[in-house]
Structure 1
Amino acid sequence: MSTRHLTRGVSAGAIALAMLGAAQAQTALPDIRIGAARPTSSGPGAGAGAPVQAPPPVETDADADATIIDRKEIVAERPTAADTVKLLENAPGVSWYEGGGVSRLPAIHGMADDRLKIMVGGVEPTSACANHMNPPLSYIDPNNVDRIEVQSGVMPVSKGGDSIGGSILVTPRQPVFAPPANAPAVVVAPTGPFLLGSPYPPFNGQGLRFGAQNQILATGAISAFFRTNNNGITVSGTANVATDHWSLLYNGAWSRATDYHAGGGGEKVLSTNFISEQHSATVAYQNNGHLFSLRGAIENIPYQGFPNQRMDMTGNRAYTGDAKYFGTYDWGTVDARAFYHYVAHTMGFLQDKQPAYMPMNTIGKDYGYSIKTEIPFTQISGRDLLRLGSEFHGFNLNDWWEPVPDSMMMGPFTYWNINNGQRNRLGHYAEWEAAWTPKWSTLLGVRNDTVWMNTGPVAPYDWRNPIPMPGMGGMGMGMGMGMGMGMKMMGMPNPDAPAAFAFNTQYNGRTDINFDAVAKARYQHDDVSVYEFGYSRKTRSPNLYERYAWGVGSMAMAMNNWFGDLNGYVGNINLKPEIAHTFGVTGEWRDRNGAWEARVNPYFSYIENFITAERWTNISGPAGIPFVGMQFVNHEAAIYGVDASGRVRLWESPEYGRFSVSGNVNYAFGQDFDMPNYTYCGMSGTNCYLFARNFRTTDGLYHIMPLNARGALEHRLGGWSSAVELQLVDNKTHVSFARNELTTGGYALVNLRTAYDWGSVRFDLALENLFDTLYYPPLGGSYFTLAKATNNPWNYGPVPGIGRNFVAGMTVKF
């Protein structure tokens, strides 16, 4: 990292102290959570007649690898966030691949996308796109998020399944119920992980009362945010009408942005514009410890640019249904859910890439159920909890590319990339948590997931090989002959035709029997320190594209890419499931009086059959830049690192409020042990790539975030909150040589925030990238659009990050 960046960071700290003296900004980093959510007790808004929320599932304290982002932290972050992934930026160990404005791909400890289990309520959406432009978190707006749980490292089997990197569990806004108008709100604080039933935590808000006996309660909020750099606008609203047993909740949001401008001069970053619209409605009934709810949602993205992809999103419309039952019984609790998710997605070109017609369509359908029971008992350790669960997740995918009129390469027929692809998973698990002594507790779990998948026959644009093309005839000169020009037919090779024939003549069905296990021990030395150590075995089967993307032509391979590196990819039907063996240790320390807290988590994962890719051939890129065509393969790999986070209260007084410092540091290193040695190949092509497979070497794993840190100097006085944030990112030099991954330089960014909350009205102001620094996010990928638009290879490089951005927002609640 350059001295200039560090000097700016130190200077920003001095500016921050002066600004905070005036008490203006807002809390930015989340509290560190030891285990699950902290107990909820009555607060200022919990007076008589205050509405109550639907009961959440029972949580435990036995998981130190969990980070909880609650509603308070989400409210502080959402003014700058059009994408829900951005709400995760302060969670230890979390990074993301850059993509569209609302379609980033989150990563935990260097493992991203399908290596994570991502749930939105009870729904598990699958990316239905060869470029993964519609990932799970794109289906919920930040303003509709109530809570996020991030599981990393050694995690319970009950919160995993078909994933090796971790889990991101998003809870949408929950329905609010109205107690009797004159009845006091009774809230029972949880006393431990084995509490039967769930309390109804109070909802802070006045609400409006209707009806002859004021038995109907209405609550809601309207928010609007503006971001100057990309003319970004977000408008959102929520409304809830309820009695003591029935509740009807609506949430809606609309966001749009033009292309943003990079720092250090304000050059426009092409293909970063988008529009996103989301609506959801929930009807719920609760009575005597039982909750039934039905949620429906609609999402519409008319367009979304992707600077690191050859294509853009030109349409994405999704419909979701989610049913839930949660109940408490004498013997324990039941949490049952069922869901259906339908998406119609289209890729094409926005104006700043190339004004051409080349539609690529997908229709994806997710459906499934989950049932979980928690049963406390005392027969073994004295305080035991048994979790039993069953899950099913089905996914159906059709991916086809319509013929382009008057195109010899992309016609005359429809290209079928995935035809009736089916991926089903049935899982069962058992988990036993035991508190042996006041200091020692353990968690043991086993899980089985059976994954079976298949696909129908595929088709290229043209079955002919070669494809006849009109060409120039030869020129002849001779005695008795004049100069003439004729036409003859020339042939264009069409490797997709034999590839489709070979694909259709083989049996494509595959079944994987996967097993997961976890063993953790927790030692609470005293009220200050807690230590946890454990091992987990986690398994993930390939996705449909990794197994069934069959096209071997340059264009077909280039269209199958969700990595942002502009290379092309072809599937491998013989891929094995990934198996991650993860070892982790976590130490947590907290002052008895709440003055400070800290957490350190080193981890190591050895991954069998890690799904990566080997070079196969070369493909063309913008401005004549060559890229590589790759095939998915299994290798051995390892990822290790450490996350550290903490918070310290510096000073507090009634007159000047509370001053505190918080932050986190993250480091990860990934290594592939089986990559062919391409050192002497350069971009020479197929023969050298195949020969290099005889000489194996190590290589960096793709898109591993380098050493990075975040810190915030915070102040709070009454309804006024303040923060100055500093983000430091090291150079990224350990990259994937096989994929020609780009290196990036280190940088320092400074953000200023302020907010004032009157209870019913809140104002937010923020200034991101205070010094308008030009920087390149390490996981930003390759900047395709600029090289394409200018036809200049010198304009090829990493995607630059957003420059100085002023943010203003207002929220009105009732």
Structure 2
Amino acid sequence: MTVSSRSAGALTRLSVSLSLAVAALPLPAAASESPRTLDTLVVTASAPSSPLYWITDPRLPRQPVPASDGADYLKTVPGFSTLRNGGTNGDPVLRGMFGSRLNVLSNDGNLIGACPSRMDNPLSYIAPETYDRLIIIKGPQSVRWGAGASAGTVRFERDTPRFDAPGIDLNASALAGSRNRNDQMLDLTVGAAQGYVRINGNRSESDDYTDGNGRLVPSKWRKWNSDAAVGWTPDADTVLELSAGTGDAIARYAGRGMDGAAFKRTSYAARFEKDNLPGAWDTLQANVYYNDADHLMDNYTLRTPNPHSSMPMPMAANVDRRTSGGRVASEWRWQNVAVVAGVDRQDSRHRSRSGMGRNTYRQQPWRADARFENRGAFTEVTLGEGGAQRWIGGLRVDRAKVEDRRATTGMMNMPNPSAGQVRRENLGSGFLRVERDFAPALTGYAGIGRSERMPDYWELFSPDMGPMGAVNAFAGVRPEKTTQLDLGLQYRSEGLDAWVSAYAGRLQDYILFDYHSGGMMGSMTRAANVDARIAGAEAGADLRLAAHWKLGGTLAYAWGENRSDGRALPQMPPLEARVNAGYEGERWSAGALLRAVTRQDRVAPGQGNVVARDLGQSAGFATLALNARYRISDALRLSAGIDNLFDRAYAEHLNLAGSADFGFPADPVRINEPGRNVWLKLDYRY
């Protein structure tokens, strides 16, 4: 194995930093004083915590190299994949479903990206390591976290710090790796019984990477986030918290005509929680939030304008999306019955400005082009809570409103035929699920869910055309309706954890993008509704072979059919398997991860979503990764890994075509993934 001089330099710098850190940080107990088995290996795959729910700690070291954004972290959960476009800010895909079919929340608030082609998707603003808990719900099996969510719900959460006496909680980490990858994270909480102050932040950076063929792939990024919260905890059951945050980034994209020159985030929030209320009334929760994403795209900050492209001169587009909302919910419990009920709302405004020439966009006025409103009410009921058989059901109603504020559309600034029009929709969602413990170690479930989803910004405002006969997408694209059956089994014992989940769904008025050649203007897109079917399954197992040895694996398969056109549904990930083996000792752990992906030949070339289309069939591949971890003390741990050990050249099926600005051919070619990658990470908790 060879390591580049730049990688070696980065690792050398980190080793010096680690030596200084070890000398400076308080170490509560040396490893020799309290030997014990490590809590966990480096994360290579995740298993469900309970039926349909995945709960994990996003701070844990993971492989491949620790994530730079939320979508990258989700790839360790079977069923998730990422629509790749280079180094960072890929778009998450769950079971082949994309966009607002996946509801993403951070601290129970929505931060929605502003780019018309989702260059800044919601997870690009999330730094996983700054959160305490990641919760995933697969399928339309909950109604309490917002409208839509036909594919699932993803929640990044921070816990409420509790102190019996004045004290400090400190979490910090540093990472270095190939191609100048270097990350830093700090999370500091100071508190007492009556309250706390929490400050956290992170910084992540990487240069362009090289693929397995040694070709440089434009992919550099640099990003940072910072958040602060002040909480009042007058007793063990009450918290009132105020928080604020900000962040920014740059990112170069091998598969886009522009790069991200700014990802400015501004966030404000407040929440109140009260537990153990009198009588059957158990919990009251309320929160409000304000999130603003100010995103700048241009073709001159991180690249040189291509004189032979559709944008031969320096150009910039500045887009901004402000999202605010709130939620109030209460829980009641009577013996084996639990009820949750509440209301929520969300308002979102989108605006933009652009300019030809360097930084001329700053002299242009902002123009609002879209306004979204949603009001919702929900309830969930659990019968048999705590018993061997549980029935869980929920209902939700939403009132959605969208206003088209565009005076003109398209690059030619033609008059907008739907200017000033308002769309209103009444939407309903619900589910019913039964869970049964067949034995202390075996649980099964079966659920049916229904979700009605208002078309999102990218489906109403980004397409160049709408369905045949409609003046545009805003006027013609109908709400999407999903009905899905979910089934599964979960087995947990001292020597074996195993699970399997399967699903089958019908999607009425599925929103599909068709790509057409626009000549010198590039591709033109049309959004329309089709009827579709989806099905698939995921499975996994962890076997403890001996006191210190583990063997595990996961499998994920997704299938989709466009019933209206009698062809495959586009953007479906291929069959994927992960096999991991590991050793867990008192101070050392080590492991290996084999990832194998089959070829995908069920494709629909020229069809897809607002970000990408099927580029044709893709080849299968396999990669091997190694990891190790050493517990220096109870507070200090060192992790290391080698990804793509054999330096394979390969590309993911869900991918953007390489941009001609960087020398990629005119015929669509997928962007290759990184070649061999070495990383080293230090975690400290006090």
TM-score past 0.5 threshold:
yes
Give the Å deviation of 1:92.
2.1
Whole-angstrom distance in 2 between the partners of 1:750 and 1:145? 29
89, 98, 112: which is aligned to 1:126?
112
Task: Name the structure 2 match of 1:712.
Answer: 580
Task: Name the structure 1 match of 2:611.
Answer: none
Number of aligned residue pairs: 625
Q: Cα 1:77–1:246, aligned 2, differ >3 Å: closer, same or farther?
A: farther
Q: Cα 1:321–1:102, aligned 2, differ >3 Å: closer, same or farther?
A: farther
Task: Name the structure 2 match of 1:14.
Answer: none
Task: Name the structure 2 match of 1:266.
Answer: 214
The amino acid that maps onto 1:746 is G
Matched, 1:292 2:233: no
Task: Name the structure 1 match of 2:528.
Answer: 633
Give the Å deviation of 1:178.
2.3
Q: Cα 1:246–1:700, aligned 2, differ >3 Å: closer, same or farther?
A: same
Task: Name the structure 2 match of 1:788.
Answer: 661
670, 679, 686: which is aligned to 2:560?
670
Report 1:175-324 matches (<5 A).
175-180=160-165, 216-228=166-178, 230-263=179-212, 265-270=213-218, 272-286=219-233, 287-301=235-249, 303-324=250-271
The amino acid that maps onto 2:171 is A
Task: Name the structure 2 match of 1:812.
Answer: 684
Whole-angstrom distance in 1 between the partners of 2:683 and 2:183? 12
In the alignment, is the contact (CA less than 8 A) between 1:583 and 1:603 conserved in 2?
yes
Whole-angstrom distance in 2 between the partners of 1:647 and 1:419? 52
305, 327, 349: which is aligned to 1:354?
305
Report 1:361-510 matches (<5 A).
361-378=318-335, 383-404=336-357, 419-435=368-384, 438-459=387-408, 496-497=412-413, 499-504=414-419, 507-510=420-423
Task: Name the structure 2 match of 1:50.
Answer: none
Report 1:480-629 matches (<5 A).
496-497=412-413, 499-504=414-419, 507-549=420-462, 571-591=473-493, 594-614=494-514, 618-620=518-520, 628-629=523-524
Paired residue secondary structure (1:86)? helix
Paired residue secondary structure (1:449)? strand
Which runs of 5 or more structure 2 residues have no equivalent in the other structure? 1-37, 307-312, 608-613
Q: Cα 1:29–1:640, aligned 2, differ >3 Å: closer, same or farther?
A: same
Paired residue secondary structure (1:545)? helix
In the alignment, is the contact (CA less than 8 A) between 2:338 and 2:385 conserved in 1?
no
Q: Cα 1:294–1:415, aligned 2, differ >3 Å: closer, same or farther?
A: closer
Whole-angstrom distance in 1 between the partners of 2:257 and 2:114? 17
Q: Cα 1:460–1:510, aligned 2, differ >3 Å: closer, same or farther?
A: closer
Task: Name the structure 2 match of 1:212.
Answer: none
Whole-angstrom distance in 2 between the partners of 1:217 and 1:31? 33
Whole-angstrom distance in 1 between the partners of 2:284 and 2:63? 33
Cα-to-partner distance string for 1:504-538 (whole Å, 9 max, x where unaligned): 3xx52101111001011112111122111110001
Whole-angstrom distance in 1 between the partners of 2:618 and 2:463? 33
Matched, 1:769 2:660: no
The amino acid that maps onto 1:311 is M
Whole-angstrom distance in 1 between the partners of 2:662 and 2:597? 30
Task: Name the structure 1 match of 2:57.
Answer: 70
Q: Cα 1:77–1:708, aligned 2, differ >3 Å: closer, same or farther?
A: closer
The amino acid that maps onto 1:752 is L
Give the Å deviation of 1:76.
4.4
The amino acid that maps onto 1:167 is T
Task: Name the structure 2 match of 1:755.
Answer: 629
In the alignment, is the contact (CA less than 8 A) between 1:762 and 1:812 conserved in 2?
yes
The amino acid that maps onto 1:68 is I
Which runs of 5 or more structure 1 residues have no equivalent in the other structure? 1-22, 36-63, 181-215, 462-494, 558-568, 622-626, 653-657, 675-696
Task: Name the structure 2 match of 1:647.
Answer: 542
Paired residue secondary structure (1:573)? helix
Cα-to-partner distance string for 1:333-356 (whole Å, 9 max, x where unaligned): 012111001121111114445264
Whole-angstrom distance in 2 between the partners of 1:223 and 1:288? 30
Whole-angstrom distance in 1 between the partners of 2:595 and 2:46? 17
In the alignment, is the contact (CA less than 8 A) between 1:326 and 1:336 conserved in 2?
yes
Q: Cα 1:635–1:460, aligned 2, differ >3 Å: closer, same or farther?
A: closer
In the alignment, is the contact (CA less than 8 A) between 1:26 and 1:720 conserved in 2?
no
The amino acid that maps onto 1:292 is L
Cα-to-partner distance string for 1:347-385 (whole Å, 9 max, x where unaligned): 11144452642111111101000111110124xxxx100
Task: Name the structure 1 match of 2:8.
Answer: none
Matched, 1:345 2:295: yes
How high is the sequence identity, in percent, across the aligned residues?
Answer: 18
Paired residue secondary structure (1:177)? coil
The amino acid that maps onto 1:366 is T
The amino acid that maps onto 1:577 is P
The amino acid that maps onto 1:807 is W
Q: Cα 1:344–1:351, aligned 2, differ >3 Å: closer, same or farther?
A: closer
Cα-to-partner distance string for 1:175-201 (whole Å, 9 max, x where unaligned): 533213xxxxxxxxxxxxxxxxxxxxx
Q: Cα 1:295–1:79, aligned 2, differ >3 Å: closer, same or farther?
A: farther
In the alignment, is the contact (CA less than 8 A) between 1:90 and 1:710 conserved in 2?
no
The amino acid that maps onto 1:354 is P
Paired residue secondary structure (2:647)? coil
Task: Name the structure 2 match of 1:90.
Answer: 76
Give the Å deviation of 1:731.
0.5
Cα-to-partner distance string for 1:140-166 (whole Å, 9 max, x where unaligned): 213202111111125122245222111
TM-score, length of structure 2 as denominator length: 0.86
Give the Å deviation of 1:31.
5.6
In the alignment, is the contact (CA less than 8 A) between 2:355 and 2:364 conserved in 1?
yes
Whole-angstrom distance in 2 between the partners of 1:436 and 1:167? 22
Q: Cα 1:610–1:282, aligned 2, differ >3 Å: closer, same or farther?
A: same
The amino acid that maps onto 1:609 is D
Q: Cα 1:95–1:249, aligned 2, differ >3 Å: closer, same or farther?
A: same
Q: CA RMSD in A?
A: 2.6
TM-score, length of structure 1 as denominator length: 0.73
Whole-angstrom distance in 2 between the partners of 1:501 and 1:601? 46
Structure 1: which 4+ aligned runs deviate by more than 4 Å? 76-79, 413-416
Whole-angstrom distance in 2 between the partners of 1:736 and 1:711? 30
In the alignment, is the contact (CA less than 8 A) between 1:65 and 1:154 conserved in 2?
no
Matched, 1:28 2:43: yes
Whole-angstrom distance in 2 between the partners of 1:523 and 1:143? 35
Whole-angstrom distance in 2 between the partners of 1:752 and 1:530? 33
Greater C-alpha Rg: 1
Paired residue secondary structure (1:178)? coil
Paired residue secondary structure (2:47)? coil
The amino acid that maps onto 2:353 is W
Whole-angstrom distance in 2 between the partners of 1:78 and 1:283? 35
Report 1:46-61 matches (<5 A).
none
In the alignment, is the contact (CA less than 8 A) between 1:221 and 1:812 conserved in 2?
yes
In the alignment, is the contact (CA less than 8 A) between 2:167 and 2:192 conserved in 1?
yes
In the alignment, is the contact (CA less than 8 A) between 1:154 and 1:534 conserved in 2?
no
Paired residue secondary structure (1:788)? helix
